[in-house]
Every structure is written in structure tokens, then in C-alpha cells.
Amino acid sequence: MSIISSTSHATSSTSTLGLRLTAAIGASILGACLVYFAGFSHIEAVHNAAHDTRHSAAFPCH
């Protein structure tokens, strides 16, 4: 007769509220910069890619 035993290793989360807040703010700033760049870009390929993505996600853009 075999006995199967498993040990559970608890992982501790060392991320503090400050680190999570910093990551959220950084991601928000990066996202806003990407949207601004794509929206006001004079490079037609970048603008068209963002435009097509908006249409595929069913967001109106005009």
C-alpha cells in the first residue's frame, strides 16, 4: 500500500501597496502615451493600425 503525501509550500507576497501603486501608475502613464502617440501620429501606418484596432473592438472613432 502506497501513501501519497504532498507538502504545501506557502509563497509569501512581498509586494507592498507602494510597489503595486507604482506599477499601476507606470502602466497608466505608458498606456496614455501609447494612445496619444497612435492618435496623433503623422505616420499613417501607426494611425491606421490604431484605427483598425478600434473598429475591430467595436469602438466608434468618428
Q: Show pLDDT as tens, one digit a residue, over the chain (62 residues).
A: 566 666 655 554 567 988 999 999 999 999 988 888 777 777 777 777 777 777 777 766 66
- pTM of the predicted protein model: 0.48
Q: 3-state DSSP call for residue 26? A: helix
Give residue 40's pLDDT.
76
Q: Which letter does DSSP use for residue 40 in this model?
A: S
